[in-house]
Amino acid sequence: MKPSKIRYSCRHCNTEVGSIPFSSAEEIIRELEKAEQGQDEQFLEYDKNGSVTVRCICEQCEQSLRQNPDYYALRKWLQ
Ligand SMILES: [Zn+2]
């Protein structure tokens, strides 16, 4: 099934950062799939509704991450 849209959501707090129609995002998805190969972390999630979620990081979490790198490293292990 062809995804209908691509959503960006924060991998830490699940906040939806934004979404764009898939037609303008095919190129991005292809790039992300390439980037994902050879990495442990998953950037892309496909759901039943045919949308693709890109796991990114929101501004807020990025700031906290810079301030408390240890805290986030720990949380990642606990999840
Ligand atoms: Zn966040």
Number of domains in the chain: 1
The token pair that represents 14 in the structure block: 């699940």
Please give the average per-residue pLDDT across 57-66, as a whole number: 89
Cα(40)–Cα(23) distance, rounded to whole angstroms?
A: 27
pLDDT reported for residue 58:
92
CB distance 6 to 29 below 8 Å: yes
Residue by residue, DSSP assigns 43-72 as -EEE-TTSEEEEEE--HHHHHHHHH-HHHH
Structure tokens at 21: 């129609």
**pLDDT tens digits, one per residue of 2-32:** 657 888 899 889 999 988 776 767 777 787 7
CA 1 remoteness from chain centre:
20
Instruction: Give residue 73 CA to ligand 1 midpoint distance, Å.
Output: 14
pLDDT at 13: 92
Residue-range definition of the domain harbouring residue 21? 5-78
What mean pLDDT, rounded, does the chain reach? 79
What's the CA-to-centroid distance between 65 and ligand 1, angstroms? 10
Residues with C-beta atoms within 5 A of ion ligand 1: 10, 12-13, 15, 58, 61
Q: What whole-number percentage of the chain has pLDDT above 70? A: 77
